[in-house]
Structure 1
Amino acid sequence: MLMTTTQQAASFMIQRYDLEGAAAVLENEGLLLLPTDALWCIACLADDPVAIERLKRIKKGQGETTFEILFSSLKMLKEHAPLLHPRLETLLAFHRRPLTILTDAGPQIRSNSLMPDGRMAARVVHDEYCRGLIRMVGRPLATTFAHFDDSPYPDHFGRIRSDIIESVDYVAKYRPREASTGMPTIMVQLDQNDELDFLRD
């Protein structure tokens, strides 16, 4: 039992050190690679215009760069999406698989991280590392998948191209070999009749 406790304490300390390193990079207009509930992503602070433009340059030539904005809780999302529809809120509260919703964004979210129609692709994360990092910086993250169109989805660190790794300022040390779901999240919006419309499942 003592060994298990010691291992848990060591794991906590490593993760804390890792989170602090990632947070320091984010707060200085930095980019990082990190695992999420679904795939590995490149991330920056969602209210940092300089970092968002840096992130876009990495994906230049890949068509329109789309971002998912990650929140640590439903409460945090509602602070940045004051017009969140009750049907989407209910779906987020009870849906257990990684889920992205399209909704109107509040003024704190930079316009250059929004969808072409001005809405926000928002996700409440359940991944322990992601959630801890967002809580530490106190701000949502703008993310895009860490791959190019001609490469596999980055379901673990080994699938990420070296040129992407070299373009960021920090790589999370959390579960580098562990595979994720291997697919993008489910994406849903409300149609004109306020019915759920699944754009990606």
Structure 2
Amino acid sequence: MNDEKNAHGHVGPDWHEQVERAAARLLAGGVVAYPSETVWGLAAHPDHPAAIRRLYDLKGRDAQKPVQVSCLDRAAAQRLILPQPALARLERFWPGPLTVVTPARPDCPEDLAPGGRVGIRLPDHPVALALLERVGGLLATTSCNRSGQPAALTFEQARDLGLGDQVLPDGGYPALGVPSTVLLLPEGLILRAGAVSEAQVRAALTESA
């Protein structure tokens, strides 16, 4: 069945079936390009270190730059991170375009937490969430692009890059084209400006408990 495109994004009429195939690829050690509400991403399963290394190779990414972990929900995220008082104040932005780099649990894989910190995000996109649900709630992710180049914003751009073993359609929910804001905890330092403004982050962090 051919995919169809409408005014709101790239719609695969069988995208649920495609998500099932993509999940199987990831669980077998593959790499998948997938849509999010920010920009398109590349994903590997955290149980496959070789697949995570392949993310770096495909992008030409600096090995010192950690990948992000996309999480299905707060319970999935808590499997990786140590408690942080500030996180409760930031939960209003989840699911959504805020990535938090925070101290990792001792048992968090080093591939995900170099230097003892892990970057976590809860995406707000139906295709990404459906994929996460089928692979156990966690994926090692990075933007879908070659290092130094803009991230893919459409299915066509992601497909033409040829970085993933499979490219999922966006289900009619296009990317906004603005990356997630990246916040370092406990320092409260914004490492990258993005879709959540610094003013919004500061207001949340300084709110009375």
Structure 1 and Structure 2 fold alike (TM over 0.5): yes
> How far apart are the structure 1 equivalents of 2:173 and 2:93?
23
Structure 2 counterpart of 1:100 = 99
Bigger shift: residues 44-53 or 104-113: 104-113
Structure 2 counterpart of 1:198 = 190
Structure 1 counterpart of 2:141 = 143
Confirm or deny that 1:31 pairs with 2:31: yes
Gaps of 5+ in 2: 1-10, 194-209
Task: Give the direction of change, closer, same or farther, for the CA distance of 1:19–1:75 in structure 2 (3 Å limit).
Answer: same
User: Could you report, residue by residue, the CA deviation over 1:9-57 in whole angstroms, capped at 9, with x for unpaired residues?
Assistant: xx89723201111111001100000011211011011231111111111
Task: Give the direction of change, closer, same or farther, for the CA distance of 1:135–1:161 in structure 2 (3 Å limit).
Answer: closer
Task: Give the direction of change, closer, same or farther, for the CA distance of 1:44–1:87 in structure 2 (3 Å limit).
Answer: same
Structure 1 counterpart of 2:127 = 129
SS at match of 2:60: coil
TM-score by length of 2: 0.76
Confirm or deny that 1:153 pairs with 2:151: yes
Aligned-residue CA RMSD (Å): 2.5
| TM-superposed deviation, 1:161 | 7.2
> How far apart are the structure 2 equivalents of 1:170 and 1:13?
16
Structure 1 counterpart of 2:54 = 54
**Alignment check: 8 A CA contact 1:38 1:98 kept:** yes
Structure 2 counterpart of 1:68 = 68
| TM-superposed deviation, 1:189 | 1.8
**Alignment check: 8 A CA contact 1:39 1:145 kept:** yes
Bigger share in helix: 1
**Alignment check: 8 A CA contact 2:103 2:185 kept:** no
**Alignment check: 8 A CA contact 2:72 2:138 kept:** yes
Structure 2 counterpart of 1:120 = 118
Structure 1 counterpart of 2:180 = 185
Q: Percent of aligned pairs with the same residue?
A: 25
| TM-superposed deviation, 1:87 | 0.9
